[in-house]
A and B are shown apart, each in its own frame.
Chain A
Amino acid sequence: MDIDITCIEALEYLNDSIDGQLDPSLERALRAHLSKCRLCDAENALTIGARASVRRHMKRVDTPAVLRRRILASLAPDIPARRAAGFSGVFGVTGWRVPLALGGALAIALLTLFVVNRKPGHTHTRPPDGSVVTESFNRFDEVIDGRLQPDIRSDNPLVVQKYLEERVHFLVRMPPMRQFSLVGANLNTAENETTAQLIYEYHGQYVYVSQDDARKLIHGTRRFIPAPVLAAINASGFYTTTGRLTDCTMAMWLADSTLCTAIADIKPDLLLANITEAQIP
């Protein structure tokens, strides 16, 4: 026996019908009602039309490959972890993948490496002038002469990122850095702004990556991004400088609202390739 429904009931059932969720007997009753009620039929057509319009224009997209790679890289620290085992030993870490039995010998061996590679004469130091470029070079000097030590020592990017993000108010970036081994990180607060500092290692050389909240620096006066640097970033995505000392490279870039600065005594193409995941030489 057919069920007779009112307009109010019909309007209530329309969406369930569109989504295939309506009981078959009610579906039949709705169809019968629509066939004789122009207004409800129009309502049905409009609802279906609007939904179709949303589906037509709001197509699903794939996750961008770069984002997928970034997330996967941060979840799979196997390769850097193996490379990083040594330097984490230098900093006195147990190292999450370092076999305990080898820890002592490895630490001694790498301590020698660490001492050999210290470069106390390597300095770019200038008077603090608020420029993040000068600041970064100064801090890099502190890293390589051993004055800037990690607050957290871990080769696991997720652990390090978590540690930093709990202490700063911007998104901390973990560049791919496939050839560099994460050693650890620390924080530096100046002028009420905190800089997150990552330290990596590459064949006995340090790679220093600092990160700041760019929103504060772009309009900053006491700490600031110099205008030519900002112009270079806007124009090409990166500000790079080399030649202050042989093989010393700085690369500065913006990742949304995070200003990232990487410095290392390595060739620019190697540093940029690791930062950007370009083809690594």
Chain B
Amino acid sequence: MDHQKNKEFEQEAVPHMDILYNYALRMTSSPDDAADLVQETYLKAFRFWDKYEKGTNIRAWLFRILKNSFINKYRKETKEPETVDYDDIQNFYNSIKADSVDPNDLQAKIFGGLLEDDVARALEALPEEFRTVVILCDIEGLSYEEIAEFVDCPIGTVRSRLHRGRKILRDMLLNYARRHGFVDGPGD
């Protein structure tokens, strides 16, 4: 019986370790904390294996266990998001409009010089619910439907969190780009 359970668990749950580890890593920004979270997730999943409904989305089930563990451990320690100066961002948009910048050049000009640290910092500063959907959609490449299953909410909620999350992220990246001098605009 136990052997059967082990075998089943190894076949069904273990292959999804990478997506869990990547999500944990992006959420904690620490390989050690991510490893702890993933190990704890598998321990809990194995313990409650009889609660898993066979044939349902195993990745979503494992993900929800991991997310709950993350919330219990880290939510209170989450830093406040970095302040974004929305007036400056608005001014920047106005400058695009006024100066007739070619939109096709914007991506390379603005984001091309950003460092990994800039992106990691911006992602880390996103509120947790937004960060989760951005990671699942833009890094993991999941569909809206699967994300909805992962985070256990309607697709409309996924869509609005994703849009909002991307907008905050983009504005923070723009802020970093301006600080680096990649784009003109009002100084900090």
Q: Which residues of A contact B (CB under 8 A)?
A: 15-16, 19, 21, 38-39, 41-55, 57-58, 60-64, 67-68, 70-72, 74-78, 96-97, 156, 158, 161-162, 165, 171, 256
Contacts and interface: CB of A to CB of B under 8 A. Distances in A.
A233 to B, nearest CB: 15
Interface of B: 2-3, 6, 9-10, 14, 17-18, 21-22, 25-26, 31-32, 35-36, 38-40, 42-43, 46-47, 93, 96-97, 100-101, 103-104, 106-108, 110-111, 114-116, 119-120, 123, 134-135, 137-140, 144, 159, 162-163, 166-167, 169-170, 173-174
Contacts of A78: 3, 6
A165 B47 CA distance: 12
Main DSSP-derived SS at the B contact region:
helix
Contacts of B31: 64
Given A38-B96, A49-B107, A50-B170, 17 more contacts: A42-B106, A47-B167, A47-B170, A49-B170, A50-B166, A50-B173, A51-B166, A53-B111, A53-B114, A54-B138, A57-B119, A63-B17, A63-B38, A68-B17, A74-B42, A158-B47, A256-B36
Given A19-B144, A54-B139, A55-B138, A42 B101 contact: yes
B20 to A, nearest CB: 8
Contact of B97 (A38, A44, A55): A38
B49 to A, nearest CB: 10
B32, B111, B173 — which one has the most chain A CB atoms within 10 A of its CB?
B111
Contacts of B167: 47
